[in-house]
Structure 1
Amino acid sequence: MVTAAIIVGNPKTGSRTRDAAERLAAALGAETVVIEVAELGAGVLGFGDPVVAEAVARVQAAELVIAASPTYKGTYTGLLKVFLDQFATGTGLAGQVGIPIMLGAGPAHALAPELTLKPVLVELGAICPAQGLYQLDSRYAADDSLTAWVDRWGEAVHASVRER
């Protein structure tokens, strides 16, 4: 079974963003650990906080990293950014498989996972073998976007995890 770390960058805990990311992990058959960045407190704004260091270690122990954010002003949240800043450039997610997932209010930002979040995961060393997943927050749980994404990209994700 694949192990996945879900990083939730929504400022609100227990969000639709978290639910969508957990649905993605389940569809991929992954055993998950969830990091709600909003629960890490002010330590995420600096470096050396032991709670944040433990969260980073939990992410680095997983085979698959699902970075999840709502779409704010056409990009991912600053909260997710400050957490990702805790990982070393090039090596912080070295060899891990990364999937960006973002929820938004409309289709205008459908490329946000590809254009904003995937490049950060790659910069940190992650392998991103699939297109980022963008879902409408008003209907992500009821439409077929997740199923379509897994049908198209699931095997590539699993193959990449096996190869790491």
Structure 2
Amino acid sequence: MTENHVNQTSASPLPAGLRAGIVVGNPKPASRTFLAAAHLAEQLTGRAPDLAIDLAAFGAALLDWSNAEVEEAVSAVRGLDLVVFASPTYKASYTGLLKVFLDRFGANALDGVVAVPLMLGAGPGHALAPEVFLKPVLAELGAVLPTKALYVLDSAYEEAAAYVGWLETARPRIAAASNALRIADPAGAA
């Protein structure tokens, strides 16, 4: 983030030892979407994500169902407690790159994972895209979705104001869901 970015990290109500990560489906490596997802994960947990997957790095390997590196990434995501799934808005939805990666997960494969759908877009006309298109796919995969999806304008991804309202509402809901999952599965607590 640039100097325009205001650090808004506050004491996180999320459980200690929470394993968090990001999965970014932007075809451009190290994109604004990647930076926004990493920022959001940091704002939720108070630290950098434990795992950061930039799907652009896999390229055509995502289409090879026998690729061990992609399969390791799928397994790593399934081992997290909280994942920000992020995509730019393409044709009013999330990217095919993210779709191909999510196709690797079977039904309920994200059971017990708190997921946060995040999409960036050029204008407010697609603000419902993460709620309408990305969130249902994550629900189908069994992810826990305690908050509304987040849509951030490309032009504002570095601005605290783009996140602060959502974070105020989302933090307690994500904390409650994370704590409930830890109580339900004490073996998952680190």
Q: TM-score, normalised by structure 2?
A: 0.83
Q: Aligned equivalents of 1:21 and 1:95: distance in 2?
A: 20
Which stretches in structure 2 are left out of the alignment for 5+ residues?
1-15, 182-190
Partner of 1:138: 155
Give the alignment partner of residue 68 of structure 1, picking from 62, 86, 100: 86
Partner of 1:20: 36
Comparing 103-112 with 140-149, greater Cα deviation is found at: 140-149
Q: Deviations for 1:97-129, whole angstroms, at most 9, x for unmatched residues?
A: 111000000000000010000000000000100
Q: Is the Cα contact below 8 Å between 2:37 and 2:118 reproduced in 1?
A: yes
Letter of the aligned partner of 2:142 in structure 1? G
Identity between Structure 1 and Structure 2 (%): 48
Letter of the aligned partner of 1:116 in structure 2? F
Q: Is the Cα contact below 8 Å between 1:3 and 1:31 reproduced in 2?
A: no
SS of aligned partner of 1:120 = helix
Q: TM-score, normalised by structure 1?
A: 0.95
Shift of 1:48: 2.3
Give the alignment partner of residue 105 of structure 1, picking from 122, 128, 131: 122
Query: Relative to total residues, which structure has the larger strand share, 1 or 2?
Result: 1
Give the alignment partner of residue 161 of structure 1, picking from 166, 175, 178: 178
Query: Would you say how many aligned residue pairs link Structure 1 and Structure 2?
Result: 163
Shift of 1:47: 1.5
Shift of 1:143: 4.7
Larger radius of gyration: 2
Q: CA RMSD in A?
A: 1.1
Q: Aligned equivalents of 1:50 and 1:72: distance in 2?
A: 28
Which stretches in structure 1 are left out of the alignment for 5+ residues?
none
Partner of 1:77: 95
Letter of the aligned partner of 1:63 in structure 2? D
Confirm whether residue 122 of structure 1 aligns to residue 139 of structure 2: yes
Q: Is the Cα contact below 8 Å between 1:21 and 1:68 reproduced in 2?
A: yes
Letter of the aligned partner of 2:161 in structure 1? D
Q: Is the Cα contact below 8 Å between 2:156 and 2:162 reproduced in 1?
A: no
